[in-house]
Amino acid sequence: MITGGRAAVRSARRLVVKVGSSSISGDNAGKIEAIVEALAAAHARGVEVVLVSSGAIATGMPFLELDERPSDLATQQAAAAVGQNILIYRYQQALRVFQVVAGQVLLTAGDLENPTHRSNARRAMERLLGLRILPIVNENDTVATHEIRFGDNDRLAALVARLIGADALVLLSDIECLYTRPPSEPGAQPISHVAFDDDLSGYEFGSVVVNSVGTGGAATKVSAARLATASGVGVLVTSADLVGEALSGADIGTWFEPSPAGATPTTGVIETPTAVHG
């Protein structure tokens, strides 16, 4: 465990970064280059970087001539199958200029619940990192069902960070930081720092939002942050537009302080509602 607030992100030996669908699909597909540039800069200074990327369903939708996110599981799976292929291609194209190779890792909740599968996943990730490959992780939407989903990729990112013993986790969002209530409401105040034992019950975090491209919301990020910090992983929540500053340890976003003991308590974690994320 590395301490020291946001500086822990820059000094991390092993770092997990999560980006959501809305930040890399549709009109924002061009933002992949900026995200990759920041990841490549961290990779170049010796950091072992893992990217958890949503966006498979959202990326596949135009190729299936879908105007909105499909509601039935079979079409979601079809969109994910098409979109995951294109999404990885876009990442690799952007990484090529930095001479970094990506490796695709698709997981289901069952993979991390089953001890044998979990061990295999950890071993594969460790080998990829040892070979200086940049793993790109997403939920395996083509085989996952509603009953066995992670719920959202914020939670998946926290579980991956715990799986590989990451030093820090960066959750990229649409806003610069979290607020005490939805930022559009009067009286909303930005949250800069959350100590490990802080009581957040008085704050009004938005619940899971399902939109035209994915799911998410402040509540899922708080839940994921609590899960990661309980395992000794510090968490930064900030905007995808600020990824370069975030990975440089800048004083931005909302920083969740990790557990001093690196323990994993079974209480104090906000449960994430089950939802399809893509």
Q: Binding site for ATP: residue ranges?
A: 18, 173-174
Could you give phi then psi for residue 171, rounded to 5 degrees? Answer: -100, 110
Give the residue numbers of the binding site for substrate: 54, 141, 153
Q: Percentage helix, strand, coil, to 5, in the chain?
A: 40, 20, 40
Distance CA 204, CA 184 (A): 12
Give the residue numbers of the binding site: 18, 54, 141, 153, 173-174
Residues whose CB falls within 8 Å of the CB of residue 261, separated by 6 or more in sequence, listed in order:
232
Distance between the two ends of the chain, CA-based, in angstroms?
31
Q: Are 170 and 234 in contact (CB under 8 A)?
A: no
CA distances (Å), origin 203, targets 27, 151, 209: 32, 22, 17
Using DSSP's 3-state secondary structure scheme, residue 44 falls into helix
